[in-house]
Structure 1
Amino acid sequence: MTDDTAVQARQREIASEHLLFKLMEYVEARHPGLLDFMEASLDHLGDPATDGTKDDEGVREIARRMIVGARKQGVD
């Protein structure tokens, strides 16, 4: 991966995460229960890697932290 490609991937990840958080906050504020629903789905989440980097629980932990962050942030 080139430096430019890595930078663009990082920027996309940051932008996507921000927009996802805002969407989660917005929907939860108008339809309480979204975050509970998402949290309950985490047992089905996994890492698709097929090599030694596979870490299902690591992926779930990132998702849990995102849900916790959305709960804390809320919509102002």
Structure 2
Amino acid sequence: MTDTAIQTRRREIATEHLLFKLIEYVEGQHPGLLDTLEQSLDHLGDPADDDSKDDEAVRQIARRMIAGARAETGGGAKR
């Protein structure tokens, strides 16, 4: 694995952790954030312009992240 790939992986792990903590905090203060994020997924897509482009795969990752955040925050509202 190249140094660039290692740094990219480490940044992704750190960013994901901080994002989850931010989501947990905001959802705790203002319930409904997770619902809003979930409702926005239709607009999420993969910006690749080659054969690796897969909008649904990106959305599925986001759905798993939201589900994980719901589990951490006690379920969220899920309207």
TM-score (norm 2): 0.90
The ranges of structure 1 where at least 4 consecutive aligned residues each deviate by more than 4 angstroms after the TM superposition are none
Q: Structure 1 vs Structure 2: percent identity of aligned residues?
A: 70
**Stretches of structure 1 lacking an aligned partner (at least 5 in a row):** none
Query: What is the aligned partner in structure 1 of residue 4 from structure 2?
Result: 5
Query: What is the rounded CA distance, in whole Å, between the counterparts of 1:26 and 1:11 in structure 2?
Result: 23
Kindly indicate whether residue 63 of structure 2 is the aligned counterpart of residue 70 of structure 1: no
Alignment of 1:15-30 (within 5 A): 15-30=14-29
Look up the equivalent residue of 2:54 and give its one-letter code. Answer: D
User: Following TM superposition, by how much is the alpha carbon of 1:58 offset from its aligned partner in structure 2, in angstroms?
Assistant: 0.2
Give, in angstroms, the shift of residue 73 of structure 1.
Answer: 0.9
Give structure 2 stretches of 5+ with no counterpart.
Answer: 75-79
One-letter code of the match for 1:18?
H
TM-score by length of 1: 0.93
User: What is the CA deviation profile of residues 44-71 of structure 1, one whole-angstrom value per residue up to 9, with x for unaligned ones?
Assistant: 0000001100000000000000000000
Which residue pairs with 1:50 in the alignment? 49
- The CA RMSD measured in Å over matched residues stands at 1.2
